[in-house]
Amino acid sequence: MANLKEIRSRIASVSSTMQITSAMKMVSAAKLKKAQDAITAMRPYANKLTELLQNLSASLDSDAGGKYAEEREVKKVLVVACTSNRGLCGAFNSNIIKHCISLAETEYQNTSVSVLTIGKKGKDLLEKSFEIAANHSDIYDHLTFENAAAIAEDLMEAYISGTYDKIILVYNRFKNAATQIVTTEQFLPIVSVEGADQAAADYIFEPTQEDIVTTLIPKSLKTQLYKGIRDSFASEHGARMTAMHKATDNASEMKDELTLTYNKARQAAITNEILEIVGGAEALSN
């Protein structure tokens, strides 16, 4: 019977875990809807702003981007890694960590690589391998354009001052609840578009094309960072919902297997008791 008590205890434990994972799945599903709507609504604006900036700057001189497009010998690289503050979201965080380490060991192996983390999990894991320039885990408490713009301004200032020669973004791009794509984007310096189609770039400029581009570049960079964080935020909830869905299914299967094992053990115990009673009765009759 001790074995039966152990199985009953495991069934109760699995049932409790299944209730927790099921609740977390529903919470993530509710948060995912809001986060997905936000990034879906933002993408057309961000893409159009980037397209407009490229059309405007393509016909200017190579130094049109000014201080934001200055090409320097890359000695110091800053990687902006977007992770989450919490776990239980499958490979969401580990994919970013592995990609950052891979970049440092391959593409930037001959440079000094620092990391700016957006998300507590990224800081906890990446600080073992890199110098952490800054951590902005609290942005998820109030994920607004203004808070993301403040981080973007710090990044722009760090590039202009020469603290870093190159800044890249690494984040999970949201595709759907089950698919998140690890994405690397160059934040600074600004990358000019080769062979841009100028046929559609027929604009009337007021005051001047240079002034407009100079104004749009900081806004475009802030929008790029905000979009990356928004993408990561939606991807996090999608990954967590999927992970909790799988965990709930696995717990349900385990509970069924334990219940079957318990019933078999109980039937065996009853059979043994019956055999003992029958054997005892036969012994008395003899």
| Residues involved in catalysis | 89
Q: How far apart are CA 248 and CA 251, in angstroms?
A: 5
Q: How far apart are CA 145 and CA 154, in angstroms?
A: 14
* Signed CA dihedral, 214, 219, 222, 226: sign only: negative
Both tokens assigned to 135: 């951590």
For the beta sheet containing 166-176, the strands, ordered from the edge strand earlier in sequence to the opposite edge, are: 131-135, 112-118, 76-82, 166-176, 179-188
Among 53, 72, 79, 73, smallest CA distance to 192 is for 53
103 neighbors 126 (Cβ within 8 angstroms): no
Q: How far apart are CA 47 and CA 44, in angstroms?
A: 5
Instruction: For residue 174, list its beta bridge partners.
Output: 180
Q: How far apart are CA 281 and CA 248, in angstroms?
A: 49
| Residue 176 backbone phi and psi in degrees, to 5 | -155, 180
Q: How far apart are CA 19 and CA 13, in angstroms?
A: 10
Q: What angle do CA 134, 103, 193 make, to 5 degrees?
A: 95
Q: Cβ atoms within 10 A of the Cβ of 226, count?
A: 22
